[in-house]
Amino acid sequence: METRQLSARMTAAWPWISTVARLGLAAVFLTAGLLKVDNLAASGRAVNAYRLFSYDTAKVIGALQPFLEIALGILLLIGLAVRLSAAIAAVLLVLFIAGIVSAWARGLQIDCGCFSKGGDLAAGRTAEYGREVLRDAGFLILAGILLVKPRTRFSLDGLLMGER
């Protein structure tokens, strides 16, 4: 009897938990994109600092990334195709984590450029890869919640499905 009550309560709570996850993830992507979009050259240099692509490729990635982050942030904010949006967010986050780990493994001394224009660290400053990876992993959990429970309150999805 008690477990059934608990599960009923969880059923009622999930859309709210997912709503928080959705809005949180939206804020993350909007912030990350807006901080970079005013200086695309710098964003390109931040990608270049990972030394994974040729500079020409890095420049294009650096230019597109903030726009995609902002678009994804808006999609999550309004709640359109939440499961798909969350899946795309998760893929991006996995790529970001992979990039940071690879920089870490190669012993590069860079700023991840996650919420800034990044680049090489000045001498005397140490990279904070562990913290950066943990933070992105936290965001990945938000995306994971939405993948499993994509139904949220105040979403365009809900409106279109005719839910209240």
Partner 1 sequence: MSKAQRDRAAARKIVEQQKAAAKRRKVTMWTSVAVVAVLVIAGLIGFTVYANQSKTTASKAVTPSVAVDNGTAFAVGTGPVTVDLYEDFMCPICHQFELDSGATIKQLVADKKVTVRYHMVAILDDRSQGTKYSTRAAGAAAEAAQEGKFQEYFDVLYANQPEENSTGLSDAKLIDLGKSVGLGDTFAKAVNDKTYDAWVATVTDTFSARGFTGTPTIVVNGKQVVGPNNTLATHDQLAKAVEAAEG
Asked if 51 and 108 touch (Cβ cutoff 8 Å), the reply is yes
Strand duo 119-120 + 110-111: pairing: antiparallel
Query: Cβ closer to partner 1: 94 or 156?
Result: 156
C-alpha atoms less than 13 angstroms from C-alpha of 77 in its C-beta half-sphere: 12
Q: Pick the binder of partner 1 from 48, 114, 135, 146 (CB under 8 A).
A: 48
**Residue bearing tokens 């969880």:** 10
> Dmax over Cα atoms in the chain, in whole Å?
63
Query: Cβ closer to partner 1: 1 or 161?
Result: 161
Give min distance, CB of 139 to partner 1, in A.
Answer: 18
Note the residues at the interface with partner 1 (CB under 8 A): 38-42, 44-45, 48-49, 51, 55-56, 59-60, 63-68, 70-72, 74-75, 80-81, 84-85, 88, 109-110, 117, 119-124, 156-157, 160-162
